[in-house]
């Protein structure tokens, strides 16, 4: 959520930054209009309350002086004032609710280093590794996974419909091994604290993380319990400290969690949905950082490195994109996408988005910190990144390490996590 003080004092700047991310600047005028009404009602209510308090103090003096009729007149007038104040307080509450609703729909402002404009204005900032060369026609991951019995796409669809897959045998082991490998890397090497979170969150939680209200159509929702299935572990890790004041001396906090993720992908019509490219349920390892405001952009670069360390260890070809403002997430001020090159489908597949949301989510979640005891509370900056998402990582691994005999070589770093195997094949590997 944006700081209302910034909108009041510098509305043209806010509009300019919203235009940079292709958002409607008219939202600023709507906020200012409602904010003015809210403040006017609040001021009127406070003035009447002050008058009521003054008059009430004088009633006792009038009674002591025997001026009962005047005292009764003041009491009657105070009752009318009380009714007026109650009505104003109700209007104040309604205007504040209206103001908050407007603010909750305004996206974060892009950082000055985020390229303005539409998606195609992205910048490639790094490419690492080389795409593999084959002396045979490389296969797509769905063919490899089916032939080796790693994934049963047909039965996954039978169980739950399109967009759901069924890992089995070595495929399930590969999935589990990758999760353990990434968690070990982020905890042992990068110093993250691991969490195992609930897979369903309250409305307050997903509202604080900025997944609501805008993205509710994309989320799976239990209407009876009013709980939302995780779209990622990010909202869970962020809400651990909702409505808390942290000790600034403990920052940064580095959290990591594995979770299954659920997304409706309601806007995916016409996109490539074959194999593992776009699914409704998938596994992901997520990283979140709580930092001092002045340290957050250095932390963003560290976060990118933490994510790419996974890919370097697995020997995969990847590139890092600095996204344009029109393509970053609702809560982000700056975002890098990390994409893997998948030779079987000859495409770059996103496996991680690394975002600095600055104080956008901490304001929504009322997450604050004090630099020292007794200091004024401030809002920390929150960052998040996939470290990484599994489906496209699995797809790229299968396509990158496929062999002429139909087997798939296992990268040395991953071998201990799949029972010491150096290859996956129909016989179970070796």
Residue 89 known to be catalytic: no
Q: How far apart are CA 396 and CA 275, in angstroms?
A: 12
Q: Which helix (H) or strand (E) is 67 found in, with range?
A: none
Q: What is the predicted pLDDT for the residue at 205?
A: 98
CA atoms within 13 A on the CB side of 355: 26
Residue 363 known to be catalytic: no
Q: How far apart are CA 278 and CA 163, in angstroms?
A: 7
Residue 192, CA distances (Å) to 289, 304, 346, 364 in order: 9, 14, 34, 24
Q: What is the predicted pLDDT for the residue at 428?
A: 61
Q: How far apart are CA 152 and CA 168, in angstroms?
A: 7
**What residues does each domain of the chain span?**
4-104, 119-424
What angle separates helix 68-104 from helix 26-64, to the nearest 10 degrees? 160
Q: What is the predicted pLDDT for the residue at 81?
A: 85
Catalytic residue among 70, 98, 265, 350: 350
Residue 263 known to be catalytic: yes
Reduced DSSP (H G I as helix, E B as strand, rest coil) percent helix, strand, coil of the chain, to 5: 45, 20, 35
The token pair at 281 is: 């349920």
- Reading across the β-sheet that carries 281-291, which strands appear in turn? 123-128, 318-322, 334-342, 347-356, 381-389, 281-291, 253-262, 193-195
Question: Nearest-CA neighbor of 352 among 285, 302, 292?
Answer: 285
Residue 160 known to be catalytic: no
pTM listed for this prediction: 0.92
Q: What is the predicted pLDDT for the residue at 299?
A: 99
Catalytic residue among 205, 329, 353, 407: 353
Residue 278 CB neighbour total at 10 angstroms: 17
Catalytic residue among 17, 21, 242, 392: 392
List the chain pLDDT tens, one digit each, 430 residues: 999 999 999 999 999 999 999 999 999 999 999 999 999 999 999 999 898 888 777 776 666 667 777 776 767 888 888 889 999 999 999 999 999 999 999 999 999 999 999 999 999 999 999 989 999 999 999 999 999 999 999 999 999 999 999 999 999 999 999 999 999 999 999 999 999 999 999 999 999 999 998 899 999 999 999 999 999 999 999 999 999 999 999 999 999 999 999 999 754 555 577 899 999 999 999 999 999 999 999 999 999 999 999 999 999 999 999 999 999 999 999 999 999 999 999 999 999 999 999 999 999 999 999 999 999 999 999 999 999 999 999 999 999 999 999 999 999 999 999 999 999 998 665 5
The token pair at 198 is: 């609930």
Q: What is the predicted pLDDT for the residue at 345?
A: 96
Positions of E strands within 117-197: 123-128, 151-152, 166-167, 193-195
Catalytic residue among 17, 242, 263, 363: 263
Check: CB of residue 28 under 8 Å from CB of residue 14.
yes
Check: CB of residue 380 under 8 Å from CB of residue 238.
no
Let me know if domain 4-104 sits in CATH 1.10.287.40: yes
Residue 362 known to be catalytic: no
Residue 430 CB neighbour total at 10 angstroms: 12
Q: What is the predicted pLDDT for the residue at 273?
A: 74
**DSSP result, 80-114:** HHHHHHHHHHHHHHHHHHHHHHHHHTSPPPPPTTS
Check: CB of residue 56 under 8 Å from CB of residue 131.
no
Check: CB of residue 52 under 8 Å from CB of residue 75.
no
Geometric angle at alpha carbon 405, from 399 and 408, rounded to 5°: 35
Q: What is the predicted pLDDT for the residue at 289?
A: 99
Phi, psi of 169 (to 5 degrees): 55, -125
Q: How far apart are CA 92 and CA 96, in angstroms?
A: 6
Scan for tokens 């195997």, then name that residue.
421
Can you say whether the dihedral through the CA atoms of 159, 138, 386, 124 is positive or negative? Answer: negative
Check: CB of residue 424 under 8 Å from CB of residue 149.
no
Q: How far apart are CA 356 and CA 414, in angstroms?
A: 30
CATH class label, 119-424: alpha beta
Catalytic residue among 67, 203, 264, 278: 278
Check: CB of residue 109 under 8 Å from CB of residue 14.
yes
């Amino acid at each position: 959520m944006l700081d209302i003080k910034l909108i009041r004092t510098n509305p043209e700047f806010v509009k300019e930054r919203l235009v940079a991310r292709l958002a409607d600047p008219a939202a600023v005028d709507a906020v200012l209009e409602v904010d003015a009404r809210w403040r006017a009602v609040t001021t009127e209510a406070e003035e009447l309350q002050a008058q009521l308090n003054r008059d009430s103090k004088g009633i006792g003096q009038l009674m002591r002086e025997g001026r009962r009729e005047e005292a009764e007149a003041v009491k009657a007038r105070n009752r009318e004032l009380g009714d007026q104040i109650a009505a104003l307080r109700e209007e104040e509450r309604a205007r504040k609710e209206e103001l908050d609703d407007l603010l909750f729909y305004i996206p974060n402002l892009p950082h000055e280093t985020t390229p303005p404009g539409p998606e195609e204005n992205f910048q490639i900032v790094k490419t690492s590794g080389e795409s593999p060369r084959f002396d045979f026609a490389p296969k797509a991951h769905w063919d490899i996974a089916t032939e080796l019995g790693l994934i049963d796409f047909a039965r996954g669809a039978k169980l739950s419909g399109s967009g759901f897959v069924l890992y089995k045998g070595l495929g399930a082991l590969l999935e589990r091994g990758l999760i353990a490998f990434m968690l070990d890397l982020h905890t042992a090497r990068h110093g993250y604290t691991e969490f195992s979170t609930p897979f369903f969150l309250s409305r307050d939680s997903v509202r604080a993380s900025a997944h609501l209200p805008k993205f509710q159509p994309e989320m799976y929702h239990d209407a009876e319990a009013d709980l939302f299935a995780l779209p990622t572990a990010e909202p869970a890790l962020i809400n651990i400290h909702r409505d808390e004041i942290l000790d600034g001396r403990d920052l940064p906090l580095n959290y990591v969690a594995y979770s299954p993720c659920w997304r409706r992908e309601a806007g995916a019509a016409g996109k490539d949905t074959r194999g593992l490219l776009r699914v409704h349920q998938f596994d992901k390892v997520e990283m979140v950082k709580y930092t001092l405001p002045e340290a957050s952009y250095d932390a963003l670069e560290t976060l990118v490195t933490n994510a790419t360390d996974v890919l370097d260890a697995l020997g995969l070809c990847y590139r890092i994109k600095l996204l344009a403002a029109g393509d970053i997430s609702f809560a982000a001020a700056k975002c890098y996408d990390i994409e893997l090159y998948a030779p079987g489908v000859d495409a770059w597949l996103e496996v991680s988005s690394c975002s600095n949301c600055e104080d956008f989510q901490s304001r929504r979640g009322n997450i604050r910190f004090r630099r020292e005891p007794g200091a004024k509370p401030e809002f920390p900056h929150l960052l998040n990144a996939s470290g990484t998402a599994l489906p496209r990582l699995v797809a790229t691994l299968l396509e990158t390490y496929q062999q002429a005999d139909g087997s798939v070589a296992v990268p040395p770093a991953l071998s201990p996590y799949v029972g010491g195997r150096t290859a996956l094949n129909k016989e179970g590997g070796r």
